[in-house]
């Protein structure tokens, strides 16, 4: 009895705990409210919906842990998909198309990183700029018209292995890799150090410029990957792909337990976001309510955590 109590207490110390509780609550409610929720097909659908947000959130989490923010990911998703589709169409090579799409994401991330570390533009502003520029380029390149997208990307975006969505499996693999990277490598540990106290880290010999550049580049690369998966899933590279994704991604990171002032990260938050999306579809509720509820969930989850930590400044 006392042991189980202490487990509860340990759980309560982590921000993930309140998200987990909410995740369970939504799932249990849906299990009763909808006949379809527990169907394997639907559960897998939830997994698929979660995967793009979660993959992009992996990069975003590292950026936020290092005290940055990347608002451009939604536009990078769109631009990468469009560039990938154009290269695929013009060269006829799927490999070039996919690599080109990833390179586009990486390039966007590097630009963000350079704007921050070399020109010393606040990352909020710098990535707000690239958000607009990248979306504009995607629209210019396509004239606003979606391009067909298929092949291997379609397999990753919409395919299954043993009935499990490929994108979901990819997300799990990437999450494990990023987690090990963050905790076990020197660069990963330095990312956490920078988020905790950038000045002290710099004076201690951490090359904060190159680390910051690296996290933004990685965030761009993963957003590029997310763009290819999303386009593959839809079999179409729409220049408006990923509009508004930055909010879902940042929300997922924050729900996952990363403080905006630097801290830890996890991908549970992305699952909750996907579950909520799914809930609205299954329950047949207006999409507008979906937007309202997402905001409320963030405020509630983070607010719960803030209440537990009260005493920091009052």
| Residues, the chain | 314
The single-letter DSSP state of residue 37 is T
Least Å from the CB of residue 302 to other proteins: 17
15 vs 135, beta carbon nearer other proteins: 15
Q: Which residues bind other proteins (CB under 8 A)?
A: 184-186, 188-190, 192-193, 196-197, 199-207, 209, 262-263
Q: Where are the beta strands (DSSP E) in the chain?
A: 147-148, 160-161, 164-165, 236-237
Please name the residues in contact with 117: beta carbons below 8 A apart, sequence gap of 6 or more: 209, 210, 212, 213
Asked if 272 contacts 15 with a C-beta cutoff of 8 angstroms, the reply is no
Least Å from the CB of residue 122 to other proteins: 17
Least Å from the CB of residue 203 to other proteins: 5
Least Å from the CB of residue 309 to other proteins: 12
Query: Which H/E stretch holds residue 310?
Result: none
Least Å from the CB of residue 199 to other proteins: 5
Burial status of residue 211 (CB atoms within 10 A of its CB: 0-12, 13-18, 19 or more): buried
163 vs 312, beta carbon nearer other proteins: 312
Q: Is 262 helix (H, G, I), strand (E, B) or coil?
A: coil
6 vs 93, beta carbon nearer other proteins: 6
190 vs 238, beta carbon nearer other proteins: 190
25 vs 203, beta carbon nearer other proteins: 203
């Amino acid at each position: 009895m006392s042991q189980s109590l202490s487990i509860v207490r340990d759980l309560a110390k982590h921000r993930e705990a309140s998200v987990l509780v909410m995740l369970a609550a939504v799932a249990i409610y849906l299990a009763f409210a909808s006949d379809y929720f527990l169907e394997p097909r639907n559960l897998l659908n939830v997994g698929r919906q979660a995967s793009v947000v979660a993959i992009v959130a992996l990069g975003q989490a590292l950026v936020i842990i290092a005290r940055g923010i990347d608002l451009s990911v939604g536009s990078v998703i769109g631009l990468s998909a469009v560039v990938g589709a154009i290269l695929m169409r013009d060269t006829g090579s799927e490999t070039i198309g996919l690599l080109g799409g990833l390179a586009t994401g990486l390039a966007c991330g590097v630009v963000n990183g350079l704007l921050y570390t070399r020109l010393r533009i606040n990352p909020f502003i710098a990535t707000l700029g690239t958000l607009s520029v990248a979306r504009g380029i995607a629209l210019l390149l396509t004239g606003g018209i979606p391009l067909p997208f298929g092949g291997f990307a379609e397999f990753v975006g919409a395919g299954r292995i043993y009935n499990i969505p490929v994108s979901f499996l990819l997300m799990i693999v990437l999450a494990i890799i990023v987690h090990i990277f963050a905790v076990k490598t020197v660069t990963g540990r330095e990312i956490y150090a920078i988020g905790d106290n950038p000045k002290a880290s710099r004076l201690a010999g951490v090359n904060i410029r190159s680390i910051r550049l690296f996290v933004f580049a990685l965030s761009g690369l993963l957003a590029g990957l997310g763009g290819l998966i999303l386009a593959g899933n839809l079999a179409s590279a729409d220049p408006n792909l990923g509009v508004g994704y930055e909010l879902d991604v940042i929300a997922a990171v924050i729900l996952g337990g990363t403080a905006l002032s630097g801290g830890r990260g996890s991908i549970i938050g992305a699952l909750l976001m996907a579950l909520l999306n799914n809930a609205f579809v299954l329950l047949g509720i207006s999409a507008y309510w979906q937007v309202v509820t997402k905001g409320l969930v963030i405020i509630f989850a983070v607010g719960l955590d803030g209440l537990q930590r009260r005493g920091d400044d009052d």
